Chain A
Amino acid sequence: MTADADHSTVARMAAGDQAALAEFYDHHGRAVYSLAFRILRDQRDAEEIVQDVFTQAWRESRRYNTRRGSVMAWLMTLTRSRAVDRLRRRRSRPQSAAPADPRADISDSAAPADEQLIWTVRVDEVRAALDTLPFVQRMTIELAFYEGLTHSEIAERLEEPLGTIKTRIRQGLLKLRERLAGT
């Protein structure tokens, strides 16, 4: 779905159009479910996250400002945030005092046009870019991004110095940025 099509679907949702919600789900449900499942590794938990995310999208569609950037970025960021929150609760770690990731808020700042483009890139191309990362860099990034660990929690888990973990995350992300520059 192009960014424009996304925006018009969200506009129809804002007007209360049920069919628009169905279209929206048909276009993005699989991506949202796959991300939730990747994080939670549990079908039932993943389903609940997907329901929460689409329910929130429906509820907040009226607040959505089309100049605010990619709908998909918002939807996926919200999914990650909800899923990781649930994962942390499941791990029965003390809950973070902070509310859910503020970046998941619908009124978040605009995504630039070039960020929107990546959502049209095929998933296997994105995965190929991820696959080029050295194992330790990718693993460290994944422990933060999908498992919700902080840099010091990762350092503790891998029994490595905090500085090493920070450097590895930065280097991995710089490499990924470079790899994706042409996509």
Chain B
Amino acid sequence: MAMNDDHAVFLELASLYAVHALPDDERRAFEEHLRSCDVCARELRSFDRAVAALLRGVPQIDPPASLRDAIVAPGQRAGATARVARNASRWSAGWLAAAAMLIGALGLARYTATLRRDLAGLRQELQSALIRLDQTEQRLDAATRSVNASQLRIAVLMAPDLARIDLAAQPLAPRAVGRAFWSRARGLVFTASALPTLPPGRTYQVWVITTDRPISAGTADPDDRGTITAFFATPPDIPAPVAMAVTDEPQGGLPSPTGNRYLVGSAH
């Protein structure tokens, strides 16, 4: 097609189209344009591998063995909507899958093997696996903080009760800026940039300040550009934050803040 003023706009749209970020009207307009524009078609094609990576690059988990039976068992092909029998409750099944994913991602081979056997076994096995997993709940809770960080952050961002708190620079870090997304149910995503490097033995600690007291969300160390991106599991029963702050504290953090303030922001 002939280049026209619209064309640069369409080329821009190719990346948005590739990740399905266009609303219907813009999507249709772009598809219409694609039919007659080789340049945009090539641009879109150039993202095929990136899109394939998004489709493929998710945490890999084994489906339950019962699913295979439901799909490949002879005699079920005629009924397109045959469903897997579900004796276990929806809650326990979902919980177990989430646990299996966490454990798998941790690389705890023995636990993974145990879980795989359970998942492949009879449905009653789910019940006993659940009891065993209950016992390791605390361990999983800790694991939650480090595993699958990206998914946890997204879960926070999709929370219906999402609140945002912007944190402003303080004299010790005049260029620093921070932002927190908090959900009572799902935890806290914290990002900050331009934080100075701390002396050895010191770490940044993130505080959720409630009407009662400051509660530690956790500690984090910036990368070499002074950037922090962290997910913190916060207790669901804490009062709503009125403010947040970032201080420097001894390695490992303290129960209440003692150090200098680097970022502060109020919840309003």
Contacts and interface: CB of A to CB of B under 8 A. Distances in A.
Do A and B come together as binding partners? yes
Contacts of A43: 64, 93-94, 96-97
Contact of A80 (B31, B45, B55, B154): B55
Q: Give the dominant DSSP class at A's interface.
A: helix
Given A96-B24, A148-B20, A177 B93 contact: no
B54 A180 contact: no
Interface in B1-56: 12, 15-16, 18-24, 27-28, 31, 45-50, 52-56
B56 A123 contact: yes
Given A22-B72, A76-B55, A51 B67 contact: yes
B70 A180 contact: no
B84 A51 contact: yes
B19 to A, nearest CB: 5
Q: Give the dominant DSSP class at B's interface.
A: helix
A157 B157 contact: yes
A177 B84 contact: no
Given A147-B154, A169-B16, A126 B71 contact: no
B184 interface: no
B71 A31 contact: no
A11 interface: no
Contacts of A174: 15
B125 to A, nearest CB: 15
Interface residues of B, number: 63
Given A142-B150, A151-B21, A157-B162, A118 B56 contact: yes
A75 to B, nearest CB: 9
Interface string B85-101: 01000100110111001
A47 B81 CA distance: 12
A75 B48 CA distance: 14
Interface string A71-96: 00100110110001000000000001
Contacts of B18: 173
Nearest to B164: A159
10 contacts: A29-B71, A37-B58, A37-B61, A43-B64, A47-B70, A50-B67, A135-B191, A145-B19, A149-B21, A151-B23
Interface of B: 12, 15-16, 18-24, 27-28, 31, 45-50, 52-64, 67-68, 70-72, 74, 77, 80-84, 86, 90, 93-94, 96-98, 101, 150-151, 153-155, 157-158, 162, 164, 191, 229
Given A47-B84, A129-B53, A147-B158, 11 more contacts: A29-B63, A46-B63, A51-B67, A73-B52, A118-B53, A142-B154, A143-B157, A148-B20, A150-B22, A170-B12, A173-B18
